Amino acid sequence: MRGGNRRAPAIRAGRLVRIRRATEADQPALTALRDDAEIDHFMGVDSSPTAWLWRHIPLGEQSSALTDLLVTTLDGLPIGLVSLWDRSVPHDAAELSIWLGSQHRDRGLGTEALRLSLRYAFDDLELHKVYLRVLDYNLRARRAYEKCGFVVEGYLREEMRVNGTWHTLIYMGVLGPDFEAAEARQGPLGDEPRVPPAIA
């Protein structure tokens, strides 16, 4: 990928959550949060014997992501993970995935974490586009993505079979101007101060 410092510290804070680069030391907390049947359901992970592979969270040198961002409360409690996955061709785009633990959903934390992550992606990493895939029945996530400027770009019909039922996979993408327009509609997150590295 061109542009941006891919190893720059990822430290942003909003009114409810902050994000920082995840490290291997975060793995126990994230593993405990990821042990969640609802996350499995919305990621399309069923009860097959190989499902455990989708629950493993590689971090640090083990991770193949462009960056893994730990989502925490303002006082540093880990609550979820955002990952940006590099494309194999240099077009300044990345695929996004996000999940939060069960006690931290339906409170606006995920939407704020998504906004902070997109701000980091477009401003710090200088990406041109961020895209994602979401299952058709994940209405809560789709609403959050739309709030942040994502638009539907395509459908893969009956692409994933989850517990015996075929479901459509929806491709959504957001460009920098889309995100800025969405931010203008939602209003500022605050100053989004960068937290000193010593307490990150």
Residue 86 and residue 66 in contact, taking contact as beta carbons nearer than 8 Å? yes
Catalytic residue among 137, 145, 155, 171: 145
d(CA 45, CA 12): 30
137 catalytic per annotation: no
Q: Which amino acid is at 20?
A: R
Nearest to 138 by CA among 109, 160, 116: 160
Q: What angle do CA 21, 43, 176 make, to 5 degrees?
A: 55
Nearest to 167 by CA among 144, 194, 142: 142
Residue 67 and residue 124 in contact, taking contact as beta carbons nearer than 8 Å? no
Q: Please, is 143 exposed, middle or buried when counting C-beta atoms within 10 Å of its C-beta (0-12, 13-18, 19+)?
A: exposed
Q: Which residues are catalytic?
A: 145
